[in-house]
Amino acid sequence: MRVKKLSRFGIAVALFTTFSSMAHAAENKLVLTGSSTVAPLAAEIGKRFEERNPGVRVDVQSGGSSRGITDARSGLADIGMVSRSLKDEENDLKGFTIARDGVGIILNSANSVSALTDQQITGIYTGKITDWSAVGRKAGPITVVNKAEGRSTLELFLHHFKLKASDIKAQVVIGDNQQGIKTVAGNAGAIGYVSVGTAEFEAGQGTPVKLLGMTGIAASVENVRNGSFPLARPLNLVTRDEPSGLVKSFIDFAQSADVHDLIKEQFFVPLGP
Amino acid sequence: MSPSARDARLIWLLSASAVIASGLLLLILLFLAKEAWPVLSHIGAAKFLLDDGWHPTEGTFGLVPMLAASLAMSALAIVLAAPLGVASALFCRFYAPPLIGRIYRWAIILLAGIPSVVLGLWGLTVIVPLIIWLSPPGTSLLAGSLILTLMMVPTVALTTEAALAAVPQSYWSGAAALGLSREGTILGIALPATRASIFAGILLATARALGETMAVLMVSGNVVQVPKSLFDPVRTLTANIALEMAYATGDHRASLFVSGLVLTLLVLALAAAARHTGGQVVHA
């Protein structure tokens, strides 16, 4: 008898908690979809947001910037993630920049080249220029370091130089930024590209790599932040309607100084000081 | 408990372990096939064999260069590691003074325990710059093979040594009675008697070499091409998965599971072939 009563009580408690958590989920859940570049950052911001707002759940799914646009428009996601500037036909959406992403060309410190034009970089990466003597420096074979397919740095690089992934003739293909820096640091004839934040940090630590400026603008975190560095892009959150309630507080949080450390951890550049 | 009941319980326990082990393998294969299926069914297996390049985001999926790279890198590593491993086991067992032999054995065991990512880091900062000096870009088939060799030598050496230790005492006594030299005993008796075990050790090491990912990814350059020289950068099937999985979606992701499926089938085929020829060696 007692057992029965207890179990009945247990079921009631279980049902109650289930219902109440479902109700919670419905009103306190944020869904973000889109760019795989923004997704890891959004997931980290989401985690901290959940900590500060008990009961809230932030669900982040990647699938490309175009999915972010589509899902935000259709309402499938509360917030879309887009790792580029919004196009003219997308101005029905509200965009909020949370950080900027910059990619810098790196060379070994022993390399005497101090600047390359866009044409020279394109020539090197498409295999038309294979020796440093062709850009007026001490002769020696060029080792082209490229990123693996699917990486956001590759995407930004290709987009800027108007290339296709299959146009590039590389000698080394790497995964993450660290591997790129190690490869260039160990090869005097190498050229590579990595996130500006990582490269600036490593060069400051004494790693033998140097960042090349582009069209006369130095590759620095500062120039990525103020938008003057050309090989850079904004990381945006987009919504269909003027944000309100939970969506608004999440976007405000993502733009606040409270998440600058998370942005830097992902090698992006926060907008504020 | 009666002996027969104990026996029955043991049988039950052993069969359960066997079923779990083989069941897991089957589940992994099924999982790989399921994840690879979307791209195999609507793009077709032929594209993976016939396509010219590997640019999944542009719709070309040629796996053959990576298959060739995996095989070439492992083959070269076996050629280097098998004689080295067997030789170091023979040295340890028959020629080294006891103290040096003991130290050497410890060194081999230590080498077996070094994590592959550490070997990779060492390769990238020491081996690769040495190869750059010979012929840039340094990250190459050769660098990958050398690192794999380092990983394979301890496996081959330790299995060979264990096999040599298990040669029955009567063989040594027989050899001594026949008045065979030390060299004659090794070549004529010890090695033939342990051939099957040495072969099994090499096979084990090869399977590890084919499956090695991190170290190979760091030192071999990862350019998708059929290697034409030792100094060409190459991408193995495993490195392909590790490099691209983190950011792959849709067909791209599924095509990486095809990489995995091909690699698994390759290792299974190798094991089957080795079992076949290995059996013959034992009875030769």
Looking at the complex, does the CB of residue A183 fall below 8 Å from at least one CB of chain B? Answer: yes
Nearest CA in chain B to A178: B218
* β-bridge partners, A209: A108
Does the pLDDT at position B4 exceed 70? yes
Residue B109: the pLDDT is: 92
For chain B, which residues make up each domain, given as ranges?
3-36, 49-277
CA distance B134 to chain A (A): 12
Please say if the pLDDT value at position A192 is more than 80: yes
Interface A:B, Cβ pairs < 8 A: 84
Q: Of the candidates A36, A141, A171, which has its C-beta nearest B233's C-beta? A: A171
Separation in Å, CA B158 to CA A243, B86, B103, B260 = 66, 9, 14, 29
Nearest CA to CA, how far is B264 from chain A (Å)? 23
Of the segments A174-178, A268-272, B105-109, which one has the largest average pLDDT value?
B105-109
Find chain B residues with C-beta within 8 A of A148's C-beta: 222, 243-244
Provide the percentage of residues in chain B whose pLDDT is more than 70. Answer: 96
Q: How far apart are CA A207 and CA A200, in angstroms?
A: 10
**Do residue B125 and residue A149 have CB atoms under 8 angstroms apart?**
no
| Partner residue opposite A148 with nearest CB, options B129, B137, B243 | B243
Q: Look over chain B and give the mean of its residue pLDDT values, rounded to a whole number.
A: 88
The pLDDT of residue B1 is 67
Please answer yes or no on whether B136 and A173 come within 8 Å at the CB atom. no
The contacts of residue A236 (CB under 8 Å, 6+ apart) are A38, A81, A82, A83, A84, A85, A86, A95, A96, A97, A98
List of chain A residues whose C-beta atoms are within 8 Å of the C-beta of residue B247: 36, 150-152
What is residue B86's predicted lDDT score, i.e. its pLDDT? 94
Rg (Cα) of chain B, in Å, rounded?
Answer: 23
Which residue in the set A150, A179, A187 is minimally distant from B218, CB to CB? A179
Q: Is B53 on the interface with A (CB under 8 A)?
A: yes
Which tokens belong to A214? 């582009």
Question: Which of A141-145, A228-232, B106-110, B136-140 is the least confident region?
Answer: B136-140
Superfamily of domain A101-225: Periplasmic binding protein-like II (3.40.190.10)
**Cβ B243–A152 below 8 Å, yes or no?**
no
Is A50 exposed, middle or buried (CB count within 10 Å of its CB: 0-12, 13-18, 19+)?
middle
A137 neighbors A185 (Cβ within 8 angstroms): no
Cα(A207)–Cα(B192) distance, integer angstroms = 53
Nearest CA in chain B to A67: B249
| Structure token digits, residue B28 | 């992994």
DSSP letter for each residue of B81-93 = HHHHHHHHHHIII
Which residue reads 């219902």 in tokens? A19
Cβ distance A172 to B222 less than 8 Å, yes or no, reads: yes
Report domain extents, chain A. 2-100+234-270, 101-225
B119 in contact with A at a CB cutoff of 8 Å?
no
Q: What is the pLDDT of residues A80-127, one digit of tens each?
A: 999 888 888 888 899 999 999 888 999 999 888 888 888 899 999 998
Provide CATH code, domain A2-100+234-270.
3.40.190.10
Read off the DSSP letter of residue B221.
B
Question: Which residue from B minimizes the CA distance to A62?
Answer: B249
Residue contact A187–B137, C-beta within 8 A: yes
pLDDT of residue A3: 47
Tell me which chain A residues have a C-beta less than 8 angstroms from the C-beta of B235: 173
A244 touching B (Cβ < 8 Å): no
Dmax over CA atoms of chain A, in Å, equals 94
- Of A62, A164, A172, which has the smallest distance from its Cβ to B233's Cβ? A172
Architecture of the domain delimited by B49-277: Orthogonal Bundle (1.10)
Question: What is the Cα Rg of chain A in Å?
Answer: 23
| Distance (Å) from the alpha carbon of A187 to chain B's nearest alpha carbon | 7
The predicted-structure confidence for A194-239, as pLDDT tens digits, reads as follows 888 888 888 888 889 999 888 888 888 888 888 888 888 899 999 9
Concatenate the DSSP letters of all residues of chain A into one string.
-HHHHHHHHHHHHHHHHHHHHHHHHHHSEEEEEE-TTHHHHHHHHHHHHHHHSTT-EEEEEES-HHHHHHHHHHTSSSEEEESSPPPGGGTTSEEEEEEEEEEEEEEETT----B--HHHHHHHHTTS--BGGGGTSS--B-EEEEEPTT-HHHHHHHHHHT--GGG---SEEESSHHHHHHHHHT-TTEEEEEEHHHHHHHHHTT-SEEEEBBTTB---HHHHHTT--SSEEEEEEEESS---HHHHHHHHHHTSGGGHHHHHHTT-EES--
Cβ-nearest to B58 among A141, A166, A172:
A166
Q: What is the pLDDT of residues A63-76, one digit of tens each?
A: 778 888 889 999 99
What is the per-residue pLDDT across A246-262, written as a single tens digit (0 to 9) for each? 999 999 999 999 999 99
- Both tokens of A107, joined, read 């060379």
